[in-house]
Amino acid sequence: KEFVALSTRDRIRAIRDLAMSFEEKKHIRWVLTDKQLKLISFLVRVILRCGYSIRSARQTLELWQGIMKEIGGKFGTSVLSYFLFLKWLLMFNIFSFLINFGFITIPLLVYDPSPNIPPNVSFRGLEILTGAGYFNYTVMYYGGYSNETLIGLVDYNMQLAYFFTIAVYMVLCGIALIFSMASSFKENYVLADTVSNSAWQLLCSWDFSITNERAVRQRKNNLRVQLKVNKTCVTNPLLSVKTKSGEREAETLLVPFVVSLMNLVVPLFYSLFNKFEHYSSLGRQIYALVVRNVLLKMSILAVLCYYWMNVVAEKFSCWESMVGQALYRLVIVDFLFLMLGSFFGEFLSNVIGTRLLPRLGVPEFDVARNVLELIYAQTLAWIGIYFSPLLPAIQILKFFILFYLKKVSLTQNCQPPRRTGRAAQMQTIFIALLFFPFFVGALSIVAYTAWRLTPSEQCGPFRGLNNTFSVVGVWIDDLQEIPASQWVVWIYQNVIRSEIFYFLITLIIIVIIYIFWQVTQGRKQLIGQLRQQIVNVSVLHP
Amino acid sequence: MGNKQTIFTAQQLDAYQDCTYFTRKEILRLFDRYRDLAPQLVPLDYTNHPDVKLPYELIGSMPELKDNPFRQRIAEVFSEDGEGNMTLDDFLDMFSVLSEMAPRDLKASYAFKIYDFNNDDFICKSDLEKTLNRLTRNELTEDEVRMVCEKVIDEADLDNDGRLSLEDFQHMIVRAPDFLSTFHIRI
């Protein structure tokens, strides 16, 4: 009956969603297509075939499909979510690299292909680790970019290009994160209900995708235990002792080394505490671990940023490149430590668990810790984009190698998780964490740099200006000469620079939020009433 | 397009693509998996619609299904004869519904059918007990089984008739966001 309203193509597509046997579906399809005029069904057929071949092509381009299937089959959906998250972050970096390279680096390389390197500097192998030396004078860092308008086929204003490319990328990232977080939140938190615990466990928790026999047995055991255990909770939250990274040595690799060492060792202590503490549910345990790790990483990053903004910016001449190098070193050393972490976390645990202390058993893949490491790595890249536009390329390589490394480590060393967690809700929490505080923090650092700090005099695209934002002011002044673009000037002066506009917008948004909130409250009441009606109706008509 | 295969006619492939969530390549790959189960029974030429059914024992021995405690119910629900013997159409239909592209409502209605052991369109207490026993390897005591089943019915039964209808089940599925990813077999 609903078919009458849809077009033929939609009708055919809707066949798949029917819960009928294949024969019935084919019959409906025959009814829909063969009874139409031959011309219409030919066109519909062509359009459908185009859609199918596009879908086919997109599938061949999909990265790592086979590996994802294998991991999902052996270890379940929660471990798979780590690898999906890694792939998603990789897409951010690929996009960032493409637009940075395309809009900032390529025009410069086309205009001036030979970098102006001082004569006594040559490429030694050490640059790959430290990022200084030869790399300092290339387009890798902020300092390698000129502030001129490049005269070529078109007049290309490097200052505006640099500023707007990075600004647009951050805004797009923010929008993507907000959308992703909102849709994930809607599906996994608002609609989900924590009340129906037992029913959920029973009917929906069986992971049909697991094909490993031992995993299946473990899942069954776990379900049995969970249904038997009554909830006595002994929460013993141990306060974590945070040590600050205060080393400010001249040895450039020492700082990243210490930072990464802390990032590696302290979470292991947290995991150790976990074994001694008792939590009422798996969810609480993971929350505690996540909160501790997040606080640790944020405090490390805060200290480092404070140092860069306040000390490095005053002391050095081409300070943006120095900060870019520091970030480069952090990224590289973090990668080395991630590899070490795999070794200690998974390989050694496996050896200890199987040979030395069989009581501990084979380790499980710690999804929470690994996801947080990914979020931290991505935050470094986001902070670094302003200071080193080609840093995403390093990040892409890093994530690529990390994927294969983690996959091998997982299959060799770990066993499937014994306790079924709420993977979808954890996914929401991780995306929310990625956005706030980490992305917002990175964005704030970059915004603060662009707004408050004076760009260095000798190098980079913003030399000679008071702050980076004044690029836009200069551009607007130039635009005032041209009569055709007066509207841009008007928008800048009356919308972006006026306080009244922001005040009004904030007021309007608050009112809209209030209205939506009231609508939600009303709907909740309606749901309660409808539920009561269902019960009443069934009592009257048993 | 590459019409190099001779197993199906173009119309048959179109029909499969319209009625399942698979692409052309996946359909051919699934045909290969189907044929691998019994190469002597399954012909290489399906253009004249041969009537071939693979017995349940072969289906249940597939690596994707052999460890699943519900494999027999899954095969019964998707097979034409209700016994678990599957034609190629049933086979494709089954993996299409269990793939990641199938929508939640479709999966929910099939999950309901799978858990409904006595095929009476309701999940009653005995169905729940059988489900629980399959999930926990028959190792809970009778009292525990009964208690859990009562709790499930209390929580999920909206119209208070002592058993779960499809609407009750779907209402509960909406509140279980993991369902889409767990009710999923990759092939």
CA angle B156, B162, B167 (to 5 degrees): 45
Q: Give me A181's structure tokens.
A: 């977080």
Are B135 and A202 spatial neighbours (Cβ–Cβ below 8 Å)? Answer: yes
- What are the residue ranges in chain A where pLDDT is below 70? 1-6, 33-41, 60, 115, 121, 124-125, 189-205, 209-215, 218-219, 222-251, 282, 419-422, 542
According to the model, what pLDDT value does residue A357 have? 77
Q: Rounded to an integer, what distance in angstroms lies between the CA atom of residue A505 and that of residue A409?
A: 51
Peptide bond into B69 cis (omega under 30): no
Could you please report the per-residue DSSP string of A278-324? --SSHHHHHHHHHHHHHHHHHHHHHHHHHHIIIIIHHH-TTHHHHHH
pLDDT at A335: 92
B173 contacts: CB under 8 Å, gap ≥ 6: A204, B104, B108, B111, B179
Nearest Cα neighbor of B178 from A204, A246, A215 is: A204
- Which pLDDT score, from 0 to 100, does residue A462 have? 84
A72 contacts B135? CB cut-off 8 A = no
Going from the C-alpha of A297 to that of each of A273, A341, A375, A437, the distances in angstroms are 18, 16, 10, 11
Choose among B90, B148, B176: nearest Cβ to A198. B148
Distances (CA, A) of A307 to A136, A182, A304, A466: 20, 34, 5, 21
Q: B169–A192: do the CB atoms touch at under 8 Å?
A: no
**Which of A15, A183, A198, A203 to mutate against chain B (most B CBs within 10 Å)?**
A203
Q: What are phi and psi of A128, to 5 degrees?
A: -65, -35
**Which one-letter DSSP state was computed for residue B86?**
B
- What pLDDT, on the 0 to 100 scale, is given for residue A1? 42
Residues A388-417 pLDDT 10s: 999 999 999 999 999 999 999 888 888 877
Residue A243 vs residues A224, A338, A434, A461, A474: alpha-carbon distances, Å: 42, 20, 23, 38, 45
- Within chain B, which residues score under 70 in pLDDT? 1-3
What's the pTM value of the predicted model, to 2 decimals? 0.79
Give the pLDDT score at A5.
43
User: In degrees rounded to 5, what are phi and psi of residue A118?
Assistant: -60, 150
CA distance B76 to chain A (A): 12
Chain B contacts of A17, Cβ < 8 Å?
103, 105-106
Around Cβ B69, how many Cβ atoms within 10 Å? Answer: 16
Mean pLDDT, rounded, of chain A: 80
SS3 A246: coil
Q: How many CB pairs under 8 A join A and B?
A: 173
Strand partners, A156: A150
Q: What is the pLDDT of residues A314-345, one digit of tens each?
A: 888 888 888 888 899 999 999 998 888 888 77
Query: What is the per-residue pLDDT for A517?
Result: 95
B150 interfaces chain A, CB cutoff of 8 Å: no
CB contact under 8 A, B18 and A12: yes
* C-alpha closest to that of A210 among B114, B170, B71: B71
Q: What's phi and psi for A143, nearest 5 deg?
A: -70, -15
Three-state DSSP class for residue B28: helix
Residue of chain A nearest B1, judged by CA positions: A53
Q: With beta carbons under 8 A apart, name residues in chain B contacting A21.
A: 80, 90, 93
What pLDDT, on the 0 to 100 scale, is given for residue A165? 92
Candidate from A17, A204, A224 with C-beta closest to B106: A17
* CA gap A35, B152 in Å, rounded: 48
pLDDT of A238:
24
Strands A155-157 and A149-151: antiparallel
8 Å CB contact of B184 and A209: yes
Supply angle C-alpha A445, A450, A452, rounded to 5. 90
User: What is the distance between the alpha carbons of residues A469 and A46, in angstroms, rounded to a whole number?
Assistant: 52
Judge whether B156 is closer than 8 Å to chain A, CB to CB. yes
Record the tokens describing residue B115, joined without a space.
């858990």
